[in-house]
Amino acid sequence: MVRITAKTLEEAYATAARELSCSVTELDIEILQAPSRGIFGLFAKDAIIKAVRKGAEEKRGKRARYTSIENPVEREIILKEIEEGIRNLLRESCFDIALKELRFEDDTVYIHLDGPDAALLIGKEGYRYKAISYMLHNWIKIKYDLGISLEIAEFLKNQKETMKNYLKGVEERVEHTGKAQTKPLDGILVKIALEHLRERYPDKYVAIKSLRNGRKIVVVNPFKGEQNH
């Protein structure tokens, strides 16, 4: 367990992930102090969080699990609760932005936000996008044990397309040598690359490796038993 103080929640999450040698999505996070009433990267005071890396026992813990629930009534209740929380969050912001779509995609909640201030909400190099994505992930994962897919305007779509084109070169190296790694990545690009390569190579070890500068790479290697074959 680590206790982190940082200027923003995004920085706090990234620092915790770096110190615990895992990705943000592998953390259980408790927010001890919100940065301020301002959100999306506009904070008036430091954020303080407590974070622990998820373990096998925690995953089997007492927290109610909503994944794989097929009851449409129960799923609708979950969506209503999430919708109310997001709309309350947006009302507190200074951005002209609205919730356009909210739906289940298997064990993930797809959230689409858009409006005149979409570009401002995304921020330079996506830094506000990362902040709100981490915040929503932390809330929804802890309460409902569900993942999220956050789209703001077409930012996520464009990022996926860009990464898909880049990963063609990585895939070529895997085909020729049996292994490869990405260039240093951060934010949503790490998750996109990880998911794409795991789907592409289910028979290989695909994982995130943290670098000293806080950025990450995704590595593709044979499983240990296959390296000598």
pLDDT band at 204 (very low <50, low <70, confident <90, very high): very high
Q: Is the pLDDT of residue 118 over 90?
A: yes
Tell me the two tokens of residue 66: 């909503």
Four-way CATH pick for 156-226: 3.60.20.40, 3.10.129.10, 2.30.250.10, 3.30.1370.180: 3.30.1370.180
Percent of the chain whose pLDDT exceeds 70 = 86
Distance CA 148, CA 146 (A): 7
Sequence ranges of the chain with CATH classification 3.30.300.20: 72-153
102 with 88: CB under 8 angstroms?
A: no
Across 91-100, average pLDDT:
91
Query: In this predicted structure, what is the pLDDT of residue 57?
Result: 38
The pTM score is 0.62
pLDDT band at 60 (very low <50, low <70, confident <90, very high): very low
Distance CA 77, CA 84 (A): 11
Sequence ranges of the chain with CATH classification 3.30.1370.180: 156-226
For residue range 20-51, what is the model confidence (pLDDT) as tens digits? 888 887 888 888 877 765 544 433 567 888 88
Query: Which numeric CATH code is attached to 72-153?
Result: 3.30.300.20
